[in-house]
Structure 1
């Protein structure tokens, strides 16, 4: 199994679209990142866990799922980097490969030493753009392909059947 641990605020600060949104709507930027990572998870089959810093916010750690992606807000005195390092140790195994998405060089070095693979924010963005393009092309291909009937029908009859199928007649 492959697991992608994402340093949430690091990625938001590095991706131009999220960075721009963050200045006006931090919650919107988080939600957009979560939605994109849900697409990533569905397309790649990786289990995605996004970690957000909450070390300046009083309270205890919060863990919840949104769009089947695990979201973690750290404890009051814990950074996302510390939580990610802890998760790498907890989750790594013989059949599990951990990938960490962050552009924090110190964090990359620390997790690489623990056996995890790293993805910079830029690498993840490029991969995400490719995934979105592939999904878009698949959708376009699906909609442009017409189903071939085994019975030869005139275009007028095909159109009437299509309208019936769609409930328009």
Structure 2
């Protein structure tokens, strides 16, 4: 995914970017770690050297691969190389960016595109499913580990409440 493109497209990240770009990057990485954990999809975030000058680097935080491009390399160029390296018969690649030209380029390379908005909706839907699952789990009455007759359970419940 094109990290700065996503930051520019998501309201929460835009607000952070206005205060401190590094906070916006960190928050995006946290969100993508959550997305990866919930979806099971390998996630690579690419930031170009526009905001971070210096030598290119590859990092891993929260099991998310983070790539900072070389100083004169764009995120788009890096993503295109990654698509060529990763895409094969067994591996479908999705590229998250709202850059229309980049979407067309990666689509031509065999990758599928996901807009920033689509990725955001997918992340929120997955989070919603997890919350619903947790709510359903909380509503299930715990079962006794030892099967007991009803009159014995009632006696234990009275003792628990302090009734005689």
Query: TM-score, normalising length from structure 1?
Result: 0.84
1:43-62 → structure 2 map (5 Å cutoff): 43-55=38-50, 57-62=52-57
SS at match of 1:47: coil
Structure-1 residue corresponding to 2:60 = 65
Distance 1:61 1:98 in 2: 23
User: Please, what is the CA RMSD of the aligned residues?
Assistant: 1.9
TM-score by length of 2: 0.86
Distance 1:144 1:75, change over 3 A: same
1:1-169 equivalences in 2 (<5 Å): 6-55=1-50, 57-149=52-144, 150-151=147-148, 152=150, 153=153, 154-155=156-157
Aligned length: 155
- Structure 1 position 145, deviation (Å): 2.5
Structure 1 pair 127–158 and aligned structure 2 pair: CA distance change class (3 A): farther
Higher relative contact order (CA 8 A, sep 6+): 1
Q: Shift of the alpha carbon at 1:141?
A: 2.4
Asked whether the 8 Å contact 1:38–1:67 carries over to 2, the reply is: yes
How far residue 61 of structure 1 moved from its aligned partner, in angstroms, is 1.1
1:16/1:121 Cα in 2 relative to 1: closer, same or farther (>3 Å)?
Answer: same
Matches of 1:17 and 1:96, distance apart in 2: 31
The structure-2 alpha-carbon separation of the partners of 1:110 and 1:157, relative to structure 1 and needing over 3 Å to count, comes to farther
Higher strand share: 1
Kindly state the Cα deviation for residue 48 of structure 1 after the two structures are TM-superposed.
0.3
- Partners of 1:144 and 1:29 in 2: how far apart? 37
Gaps of 5+ in 2: none
Indicate the structure (1 or 2) with the bigger Cα radius of gyration. Answer: 2
How many angstroms apart in 2 are the aligned matches of 1:18 and 1:127? Answer: 17
Which stretches of structure 1, 4 residues or longer, exceed 6 Å deviation after superposition?
none
